[in-house]
Amino acid sequence: MITDPIADYLTRVRNAIMASHRVVEIPASKITKEITKILFDQGYILSYKFDDAGVQGTIKIALKYDKATKASVIKKLQRISTPGLRKYVGANDMPRVLNGLGIAIVSTSRGVMTNKQAREEHVGGEVLCYVY
């Protein structure tokens, strides 16, 4: 059993990037599936596939690298709200990551979304992580 599936997700992706892997396999949960969809929509990963085999299922993520420099598109993944210290923000206090170049993934009452979407829909929530 994993205590913090979001931190485990971010760590596995971070480790795969450091080792220059093309594909990383992660245990699936509802929240990690939503985070994967957001990363794909924002252009941080190449593709993903949900495998529902077994009890929990897995997520296979194809990581995205720059063709010229072979550097990863994702520079940093940072967990913000942890099980020991939750970080909540209102709609007016939504964080700006790298002055708008990065994204913050926020869990709101209307689902998991980016900080920009939450600001447009005028909802606050728990800041899960920063991606840039």
User: Pick from 127, 101, 131: which is nearest to 17 by CA?
Assistant: 131
d(CA 13, CA 130): 13
How would residue 57 be classed by pLDDT, with cut points 50, 70 and 90? very high
pLDDT score for 68: 94
How would residue 19 be classed by pLDDT, with cut points 50, 70 and 90? very high
Q: Is the pLDDT confidence value at 31 over 70?
A: yes
Which residue blocks in 1-110 are alpha helix, DSSP H? 5-18, 30-41
d(CA 115, CA 101): 12
Task: Note the pLDDT tens digit of each residue in 87-129.
Answer: 999 999 999 999 999 999 999 999 999 999 999 999 999 999 9
d(CA 64, CA 23): 9
pTM of the model as a whole: 0.94
Element counts in the chain: helices (H) and strands (E): 3, 8
Q: Is the pLDDT confidence value at 82 over 80?
A: yes
pLDDT score for 1: 63
